[in-house]
Amino acid sequence: MQTGRLLGIARSLAIYHAVPGRAGRLRRLCAPFVPSGGLCFDVGAHAGNRTRCFRKLGAHVVAIEPQADFARLLRWMFGGDPAVTVVEAAVGGAPGEARLQVSARTPTVSTLSPEWLARVGGDESFRGVDWAPGPVVPIVTLDDLIARHGVPDFVKIDVEGMEGEVLAGLSQPLAALSFEYLAIAPDLSIACVERLASLGDYRFNWSPGESMRFAGERWLDAAQMRERLAAMPARSGSGDVYALSSAPAALPG
């Protein structure tokens, strides 16, 4: 394995597993949505911190990851756990295959979307990040995964610009899910909100960066969440939007 790739894997492990207190904050954030004995899909499982969180909460997990190095890492981390299934694939709007655009030193931003790469690659926040054509990987849909593994209680989606494509492959409302937002590309996140609103009655909140805390004091409807995403300063970075089907107005917990 090339030195750059090894450094990239080490970087991901440090980001997602070595920051004191982060795992506990993540469990507290996810606990209201992840029932013990339930089922979670970790779409873009990467270094496995969300899979580990969901297992700590007692859920079964399907971890989906297209990068072969990280799929091997997940099998090594969870290979002795029958409650974790690793699927080496990407998730998209239709079954098929596509070429992965790989960032060896920063593998967290590897992507299947050349359009996303061209759009964000020149932004200051991606300075020093390089991508190169990688392998062709298989694509499955959320509907495929549901048919094989069951209806999940929670789905986490973090796929670098492909979040809308992932939701395009879902044909039913789910109880709860999250998807990554990027403030420099609000229209992509707004499209995800609109897709979910077309499937069911959702309420939304957001967690900036790796804070593992909700920024909104109340759950928002789709129109309010669209406005919030559109108003975010471009320099505010990224985070996760959480969507709950028929969520209460008050925050959980």
Contact 86, 75 (CB under 8 A): yes
Encode pLDDT of 181-194 as tens digits. Answer: 999 999 999 999 99
- SS3 percent helix, strand, coil of the chain, rounded to 5, is 40, 25, 40
For residue 12, pLDDT beyond 70: no
- The mean predicted confidence, pLDDT, of the chain is 90
3-state DSSP call for residue 100? strand
pTM over cut 0.85: yes
Nearest CA among 114, 46, 129 for reference residue 86: 46
Q: What is the mean pLDDT of residues 132-148?
A: 96
Q: Is 3-245 a domain of CATH 3.40.50.2300?
A: no
Sign of the torsion formed by the C-alpha atoms of 176, 115, 106 and 45: positive
For the chain, where are the alpha helices, taking DSSP H only? 3-17, 22-30, 49-56, 68-78, 114-120, 142-149, 163-168, 186-199, 222-231
Give the C-alpha separation, 246 to 59, whole Å. Answer: 22
Q: What is the mean pLDDT of residues 76-90?
A: 96
